[in-house]
Amino acid sequence: MRIPPRLDPACRVAPPTKRHLVLLNPFYPKDPHASFGKHVLTPSLALTSIAGATPSNWTVTYHDENLLQGAPPIDPFPELVGITVHLTFAKRAYALSRWYRERGARVVLGGLHVTSCPDEAAAHADAIVVGEGVQVWPDVIADFELGSLRARYRGDFSNPYREDPPPDRSILPRRSFLTTTSLIATRGCHNRCGFCYLATEGMHMPYRKLDPEQVVEQWLRDDQPYGVFTDNNLGSDPVYLRQLCRAIRPLERIWSAAISLDTTDDEGLVREMALSGCTGVFVGFESLDDRNIAASGKRSPLAEDYARRVHVLQDHGIQVNASFVLGFDHDRPDVFDRTIEWIERTRLECATFHILTPYPGTPLFRQLEAEGRILHEDWDLYDTAHVVFRPKHMTPEELAEGYARCYERLFSHASIWKRRPADVRAVPAYLAMSYLYKRANPLWHVLIRHRLVSAAWQPIVEMTRRRHVAYRRRLAKRAPAEAQRVHPGVGPAADPWSVLM
């Protein structure tokens, strides 16, 4: 899980096959402190979206190196290769590009890192796509077929999102993921945090939405019981979220998404989410210190109100996966224990930790660079699991050790037991999830390599779906005011399988 497949320098291939495209998601080393299972929950939507924009007279092969299926595909050998590039696997993407180009293929690079560092990426490809790739991909294909591929294409996010072709999920190996129904209903976010890639210089992503009916159509076409919205913040527009929930509700399926905590301002909206099948949300709490939140430029409720808002979600059968960033300028060495103690006291079933990472092109990177606090620019280590800058009130070593200690304690027997659901009927399922998802990385290696991920998850997903459908029927019979008084831990909120995202 930390060593990429070998690229054989002596490998010989047949001549490129006309109109054959390979779409590649490069390998990246996995953080041994976190769960390996989270890397195979859903596939890359960037590549399925590009596949959806590819003319029908082309054949498309999808290859994700993180599925541990060996070297990249060469039979048939493609004449065109598209590679998505993120910061932490940029070097691997460049190596793949070089390997294919040496054998006669043309390579196009796109993705977040290409948008933030276009000149760097351009040196490793025949063409790069900066910004929105789906918008310009038909032009890339047309130019390639005419033998006039340009060195650089730029998509500006100006087209209405509803006019984009839907992703082509038929190219995906369904057995390799928890669900292939990864959805993006909205683009953009009402926050512009200084550490987020959406704040990258040159990244101007307006807030755009799919019609709710388009989301339903995509989900029905993929025919999966569980959908994961990979939107930056599905709750940015409460009016739209309410419309989306009402469109999804008749499907009797379950879903999870990333939202901001201010979604809980409207408990009626939370109720709509529950009734439509929402069983888990990923929330960027970032910090329990309001000064850190203010300095990052994020609009968020006060930290003293976090626990109450968590319980609003839990009261409606929606679990919370809390995300925390460690290493802000107001963090001191006690931040690690304080954060874990709050998680345990609030009885959060799941949490994720990230070391503050200054992505190139963001306001945070420019600030730390101006202050001389950037330690290096080895992009492989800009993965939120390594310290790449000098913290203000602790040493880099203290930050790295504290980050590791947070995961060690969260995944410990004592912490798992302390955060068990109040509903004793849900404790067995909670314990099973905790030990499989958090303490079984060697098992995940086997499941991924042998394409058993879907087989392992689907019985649990169906159990959760059935349980939540029954819960929604009971919830629908209660008056809204009564529904808001449901005790934490009662009903499907105690079923933790649904929050994995």
Q: How many CB atoms lie within 10 A of CB 323?
A: 16
Provide the pLDDT for residue 500.
43
Contact of 286 with 258, CB cutoff 8 Å: no
- The residue type found at 45 is L
Provide the pLDDT for residue 482.
52
User: Could you tell me the pLDDT band of residue 208, with boundaries at 50, 70 and 90?
Assistant: confident
**Tens of pLDDT, residues 384-432:** 999 999 999 999 999 999 999 999 999 999 999 999 877 676 677 778 7
| Residues belonging to the chain | 501
Indicate the burial class of 356 (C-beta count within 10 angstroms; 0-12, 13-18, 19 or more).
buried
Share of the chain above pLDDT 90, in %: 76
Provide the pLDDT for residue 90.
96
**Tens of pLDDT, residues 244-278:** 999 999 999 999 999 999 999 999 999 999 999 99
Q: H or E segment at 158?
A: none
Quote the CA–CA distance of 339 and 397 in Å, as a whole number.
Answer: 19
Quote the CA–CA distance of 311 and 401 in Å, as a whole number.
Answer: 31
Task: Tell me the whole-structure pTM to 2 decimals.
Answer: 0.90
**Tens of pLDDT, residues 157-205:** 778 889 999 999 999 999 999 999 999 999 876 666 656 656 566 556 6
Domain ranges, ordered by start, for the chain: 17-162, 173-499
Contact of 228 with 279, CB cutoff 8 Å: no
User: Could you tell me the pLDDT band of residue 340, with boundaries at 50, 70 and 90?
Assistant: very high
Which CATH superfamily, name and number, covers 173-499?
Answer: tm_1862 like domain (3.80.30.20)
Quote the CA–CA distance of 160 and 170 in Å, as a whole number.
Answer: 24
Provide the pLDDT for residue 436.
78
**Tens of pLDDT, residues 424-482:** 766 777 787 788 788 888 899 999 999 999 998 888 888 888 888 988 999 998 866 55
Q: Is domain 17-162 annotated with CATH 3.40.50.280? A: yes
**Tens of pLDDT, residues 146-161:** 999 999 999 987 788 8
